[in-house]
Structure 1
């Protein structure tokens, strides 16, 4: 289906501002973002920026999605050694925790911030602007990536474990919530500077407790 000129223009403009915001984040961190500087780098004024984004936090959310690229790329390496759905589930989480805990503010904003409940729509918009980032992505990863929010994404990731009989369907919602709460708790502590763990230590602790959750429901990990 042919895309109309107005849609193409919108995607192009959003791309300019997202690229400018990422440049600032890469150079000075997410705290350094300002609408005026982003607009200056993109070659437009702040008023134009607000034609495409609700506020600075909305732009920050879209710019943060750029940092999912390395996570998605690494998934292949992490999951290639998995032989069962449960092993694969934990390999995906290992990869996710590695990236999230090395960039806690970015990942916290994406998955638990103001705009996180609109993640599905934002990701679809994002990949319409940067379709090249979907290249070489494994097909079975896309449903998980495009989930409406992190709860839905994790539930999608659990489905193969349920289908193969590792996880009982009636336990899936409880396991899902416990896993997300564990991850969110650790991520929040890292964002707030309340944990003395390195990213690697935080990852290992999170995975350990996640495995305890599975074990409590009789799932061998």
Structure 2
């Protein structure tokens, strides 16, 4: 049973998260400030600092919301996959789609200042908003609760070893190369390149396919 202090903390986090979401949705992530979040939430800036280290931490925590559509859509993407390679590629296609639709949000989650507390933040966020997990299966939940994007990718990459698609000796370098490639393309979207979302997805998937097939 939650204590009064825990209930109060959840309530305050909810106020600040909803205020931040409102600004992001209406004005963009670049227009989020401590002052305007506090004003919308109905509290002063000093109160907000009781719950978040700084603006980056607030945005990082709030960004968890934007995983929701990805989490709900992923089971549909992989539903008709026939083998581990198809699951892997479909998972990445889905992830790219949602990442490139909100590049600043996803870059902040997986490569930003607070990426090293991702696991703790995900756990706390979904403790407040359990409904946002949807009907995700066990493997997806396991993947979401790993600390880094590197560890998350290992969960869906490892079955390719078991199925003889890649060799175990290349496992770590394949994992790192895929993440580095994705990070570079996502960063291009953050700084505003002119490629469409579809072009960026195709480019990323071709690179991933090349990396996998090169080391089979």
Fold equivalence (TM over 0.5) = yes
Report the TM-score range of the alignment, normalised by the length of the smaller protein. Answer: over 0.9
1:1-221 alignment, distance < 5 Å: 2-193=1-192, 195-218=193-216
Q: Write the distance in 1 (CA, Å) between the matches of 2:38 and 2:194.
A: 37
| CA RMSD, 1 decimal | 1.1
The answer to whether the 8 Å contact 2:72/2:133 transfers is no
TM-score, normalized by length of structure 1? Answer: 0.94
- What's the offset of the Cα at 1:161? 2.0
- What's the offset of the Cα at 1:16? 1.1
TM-score, normalized by length of structure 2? Answer: 0.96
- What's the offset of the Cα at 1:196? 2.6
Count of matched residue pairs: 216
Q: Write the distance in 2 (CA, Å) between the matches of 1:63 and 1:163.
A: 37
- What's the offset of the Cα at 1:54? 0.2
- What's the offset of the Cα at 1:155? 0.9
Gaps of 5+ in 2: none
- What's the offset of the Cα at 1:131? 1.1
SS at match of 2:22: helix
Q: Write the distance in 2 (CA, Å) between the matches of 1:196 and 1:26.
A: 22
Q: Write the distance in 2 (CA, Å) between the matches of 1:106 and 1:97.
A: 13
Gaps of 5+ in 1: none
